[in-house]
Amino acid sequence: MAAVLPTSGAAAARPMTAEEKKVIFASSLGTVFEWYDFYLYGSLAAIIAKQFFAGLDAGSAFIFALLAFAAGFIVRPFGAIFFGRLGDMIGRKYTFLVTILIMGLSTFIVGILPNYAAIGVAAPVILIGLRLLQGLALGGEYGGAATYVAEHAPHGKRGAYTSWIQTTATLGLFLSLMVILGTRTLVGEAAFADWGWRVPFLVSIFLLAISVWIRLSMNESPAFKKMKEEGKTSKAPLTESFGQWKNLKIVILALIGLTAGQAVVWYTGQFYALFFLTQSLKVDGATANIMIAISLLIGTPFFIVFGSLSDKIGRKPIILAGCLIAALTFFPLFKALTEAANPDLAAAQAKNKVLVHADPAECSFQFNPTGTVKFTSSCDIAKQVLAAGSVSYDNVAHAAGTPATITIGETVIQSYSSKGLPPDEAKAKDAEFKKSVAETLKAAGYPAKADPAKMNKPLIVGILVILVIYVTMVYGPIAAMLVEMFPTRIRYTSMSLPYHIGNGWFGGLLPTTAFAIVAQTGNMYNGLWYPIIIAGITFVVGLIFVRETKDVDIYAKD
């Protein structure tokens, strides 16, 4: 790690120069557009499930749409390796000019891609391919932008300067929500679900043109330019970053002790909260998007607050405090969200609990990505009906060979096995069973959707703002800290990989993993165990093994 020097009071006190403002604005604006492109898919996951995975049952289609969303995250570390190597060898500027081109064109093509009804299985295959390209591009984008800004920042102000880059992911999500909401309002819900959802993807071509123009006007990072003039650029940044233990151990600590926990707090506070509102609490998409957008607008300035604060008290205490507080409060906050957004559902769950009594041996994992698996046992059929209605339930073991039952309050409904039944008889039994469950749930007070008149919208926004503030705590200072952990010659490569494994794998897989846990256990809050455990691990590892970096001189020779 680079040498530690005292913070320069003059550097910290002087105002930002015009050139530094241009660097931050140009880097941030391009990155906002790139995040906008990336998050459009996640914001429209439910519609994309119907458009591109129409061959599957509704539950599996949504989970598979989330998996396609996650595919972009899975390849992000590979993009970090590929573009990080280029960035350390040929420069920061041209590398992330290439990444914005790949991202923008991939997003635009999604907007003109025929759906499943038009071209069959080719539609989801091409869609996933485009998501992979987006993931590769984003893998090279963030490290370049963060490194570029940090290497322009004066000593003692890197936290404040790089925190502007940290706002871009949230602003990109906010922009995507605003364009979606505007399009929805303009064309109407029916038209939006049919063809209007394509408009936000098509708009990206204009954002791409602006981004490319901005990035062409930028100069190379002074630290990289000086290093290149002196002939000190790395010839093998991958080998230096990951083939030498002194750097590899820092990469591992950066992943486990920083970015993994930061990622799950980020995605829980923004994306999972949105999915939880729409899927579990049955809040309509437009209302959920508006409340998320308001919370992002209120919370975003705290990225700058915590980034600047990290220049004074350190990066580590703020990041780890965010992980710990989030892990301790996720359960009560999401339960409060239920009571505020859908009080009828909360009341029904308290008064008339739903239980599934079944032989554990006949219960399968409720996931059908190919659409070919037929769930025929009484347990599977019972759970499928409840999952399709987003009904939270508890599992109770039944004696072997006993048909499954659903208990709703005082009413017991016996499930059935469709194995060996003629198609017509199975279809009739299925319709009868679903009708019986739906009527009983309605009688027990379970709402088909959240009632807007009963929502406590100020409280919902307040809870969402708290979740966003957790995001700003863990995310605001992290760019500066990652930059400070590695030497200039391999910085782009070294910092990008732990960032994108943490955010791409631990964070990007969070919605899919959490909803799979919910589908398996029946309890809609159990998905929160995933971010809580990961954030807890990061807190412990970071507290014990990660060193503070705020006073590191990133220009010092290693």
Each residue of 166-188: pLDDT tens digit?
A: 888 778 888 888 898 899 889 99
The CA-based angle 550-555-558, given to 5 degrees, is: 95
CATH number of the domain that 84 lies in?
1.20.1250.20
Final residue belonging to a domain, choices 443, 468, 497: 443
Q: Could you tell me the residue range of the domain that residue 514 belongs to?
A: 18-342+451-545
HEC string of 343-403 equals HHHHHHHHHCCEEEEECHHHCCCCCCCCCCCCCCCHHHHHHHHHHHCCCCCEEEECCCCCC
Residue 406 lies in a domain: yes
**Domain match, 36 and 124 both:** yes
Q: 455 and 485 share a domain?
A: yes
Rounded average pLDDT over 276-297: 89
258 & 361 share domain = no
Shared-domain flag, residues 119 and 77: yes
Token look-up 């309605």 returns 442
Q: Dmax over Cα atoms in the chain, in whole Å? A: 82
Number of domains, the chain: 2
Is 510 within the bounds of a domain? yes
Is residue 336 domain-shared with residue 243, that is, in the same domain?
Answer: yes
Structure-model confidence comparison of residues 128 and 33, the more confident one: 128
Residue 359 included in any domain: yes
pLDDT at 64: 75
Q: Other C-beta atoms within 10 Å of 312: how many?
A: 12
pLDDT, tens only, 513-539: 887 788 778 888 999 999 999 999 999
Does position 373 have pLDDT exceeding 90, yes or no?
no
Identify any residues that bridge with 411 across adjacent strands, giving them in sequence order: 408
CB 70 within 8 A of CB 512: yes
Both tokens of residue 413? 């409904």
Are 361 and 336 members of one domain? Answer: no
Clarify whether residues 336 and 354 are in a common domain. Answer: no
Instruction: Please check whether residue 224 lies inside any domain of the structure.
Output: yes
Tell me which of 425, 443, 461 is where a domain ends.
Answer: 443
**Same-domain check for residues 360 and 272:** no
User: Of 415, 443, 471, which closes a domain?
Assistant: 443
Does residue 1 lie within any of the structural domains?
A: no
Check whether residue 102 and residue 179 sit in a common domain.
Answer: yes
Q: Which of 67-76, 203-212, 509-518, 525-534 has the highest mean pLDDT?
A: 525-534
